[in-house]
Structure 1
């Protein structure tokens, strides 16, 4: 059996050389004979970009029911109507979900628990990349960290019981969370600060590296999640996926003029088509088996975690982040949910 991400040795070769090879020498793997008949999937941020493409590919493999979790239901319905026309036999619903709001996340999960008789797959794709410092109005956290880390991993935690209970015996529920290769070179100079989360909310430390660091936090969370063995792979398979550097999405739509032009030129040279990237999501959530639990995947393969996590400082930071994150989630009893999952 292939080793897990934790069991692998960290990658030490030049990041940008690996990036170039990934973008140019890793052909997409379109799954053959994948039949998702009867299955139900949630995809967040699914009205555009990778979320929409992943939804389209799930439906092309005969997914029976799709929940499009979006902030704007109007935009969601527009996207859903296109999918409904192409896949009239599937049930496609648009549910509101604002990743800037803990109460919205709780309401969404409550609806899934009460209205879905079955749930097989959750793709946590919604994210943000802020160009300037903005604090979340309800939590006070910087919004990139709020959406990409705190809200995303709260949603993952709260969905675990439903995915365990509502997936058929012998077919574990699946959670795939969209990450980024930038986590591999992200910096976390605040790792010695107490509290860590508060240090990350300092406007003075905000910059171009914030997005990558927000994704690195997800790796630290997953390291501790696996280390504590909260969920067995025959119950729920949870992993992180790097879809590649993409073109054909609206993710960087807020870039100013000169930066937008430079990005488009760079995308033209090296970016992966969103259609190809969609296959990485299908692979991680529906093709790979239990061996992918607790792993980080890139280029359709299991890869090691970022090098930082194989250092003592990285593991200490993961310990600290876990404690602070569970304290942040105390209103939702997240630690209690995980402890109950572990008990069986």
Structure 2
């Protein structure tokens, strides 16, 4: 099995709490080189009408990006932001496309539009994600909401965009950066113990905590990425996970319980990074880091180890089981065929 530089670093030697504090307090910002030039390039940023997605889009445009696709849930809100961008960056082509991450139909329609309407695609930053306060299931898929949006829908969209990123990036490998979270460092899952990973996570009778579940939803992407390397070459598309750290003034906790949201807003006010600093981590992973970041977790502007759970026997078993279940879930979209086609 192909491995990444992150995997080869081995498990973190410090506790998640220690890693968090060092991340927030002792990590110097690494801004993109001042001569970064994205002229002629086309990028997609999901969840780009607010918070880190908006700021990452602004930074891409500031480096001369020629075309930006803002993939948003609310096109009205997206157009409001886009109008400001068009005034600030008049040379750029800025489009607002609808994308609902709770809907497989919407994700497939978006990917078809990319394939049909874009002659070029260099960068995709999958930023759209959510936090909620109570256990809920997406009716159309039957999956718990955080697992659906933060993991399943995000991975499906990534797979569907890979062929375009491979074929339509003439100046080098396409770039797919999936936004992750340092909370994944402390996450574990108890399945499989003779059972199914996704079914266990969808089980309302099992213990459920919003903070823990968010971390698990992000950790699943680490497990999935390791197996994805079997199909995607860094010469075609560089795929990585980017962690912006804890950032203030984002909307992530808008769906969290009042007390949880109040705690995080206060905590972020003291220790949180600013939006420009957090978004710079997106840009670093998506356009500055090289092929050595393929299949890696990029945190604090450097290639970092995966969560400790990934390296355990339980983590290996969960990874193998999760891959099988996820690809079975995505059969309707032809995901396995797409991945097989990338190897040809």
Instruction: Report what 2:39 is aligned to.
Output: 37
CA distance in 2, matches of 1:135, 1:254: 14
Partner-residue secondary structure (3-state), 1:43: strand
**In the TM superposition, what whole-angstrom CA distance separates every residue of 1:3-58 from its partner, at most 9, and x where no partner exists?**
71111121121221221111111122111210000000000000000100000000
Partner-residue secondary structure (3-state), 2:170: coil
Instruction: Report what 1:327 is aligned to.
Output: 328
CA distance in 1, matches of 2:331, 2:196: 16
Which segments of 5 or more consecutive residues in structure 2 lack a partner in the other structure? none
Return 158-167 or 259-268, whichever deviates more: 259-268
CA distance in 1, matches of 2:265, 2:250: 11
The structure 2 residue matched to 1:130, chosen from 129, 132, 149, is: 132
Over the residues paired in the alignment, what is the CA RMSD in angstroms? 1.2
Q: CA deviation at 1:256?
A: 4.3
Partner-residue secondary structure (3-state), 2:254: coil
Residues 1-344 of structure 1: pairs in structure 2 closer than 5 A: 4-32=5-33, 33-169=35-171, 171-203=172-204, 204-208=206-210, 209-226=212-229, 228=230, 230-342=231-343, 344=344
Q: CA deviation at 1:320?
A: 0.5
| Residues 5 and 292, structure 2, Cα contact 8 Å, conserved in 1 | yes
Return 291-300 or 76-85, whichever deviates more: 76-85
CA distance in 1, matches of 2:273, 2:174: 28
CA distance in 1, matches of 2:141, 2:256: 25
Structure 1's 308 and 261: CA in aligned 2 closer, same or farther, altered over 3 A? closer
**TM-score if structure 1 supplies the norm length?**
0.96
| Residues 193 and 199, structure 1, Cα contact 8 Å, conserved in 2 | no
CA distance in 1, matches of 2:181, 2:194: 24
CA distance in 1, matches of 2:235, 2:267: 42
| Residues 327 and 336, structure 2, Cα contact 8 Å, conserved in 1 | yes
Partner-residue secondary structure (3-state), 1:318: helix
Q: CA deviation at 1:248?
A: 1.3
CA distance in 2, matches of 1:127, 1:192: 29
CA distance in 1, matches of 2:178, 2:243: 9
| Residues 132 and 253, structure 2, Cα contact 8 Å, conserved in 1 | no
Structure 1's 43 and 243: CA in aligned 2 closer, same or farther, altered over 3 A? same
**In the TM superposition, what whole-angstrom CA distance separates every residue of 1:71-106 from its partner, at most 9, and x where no partner exists?**
110011111111111111100000000000001000
Q: CA deviation at 1:206?
A: 2.1
Q: CA deviation at 1:148?
A: 0.4
Structure 1's 189 and 127: CA in aligned 2 closer, same or farther, altered over 3 A? same
| Residues 186 and 307, structure 2, Cα contact 8 Å, conserved in 1 | yes
| Residues 65 and 90, structure 1, Cα contact 8 Å, conserved in 2 | yes
CA distance in 1, matches of 2:256, 2:228: 35
Partner-residue secondary structure (3-state), 2:238: strand
| Residues 131 and 256, structure 2, Cα contact 8 Å, conserved in 1 | no
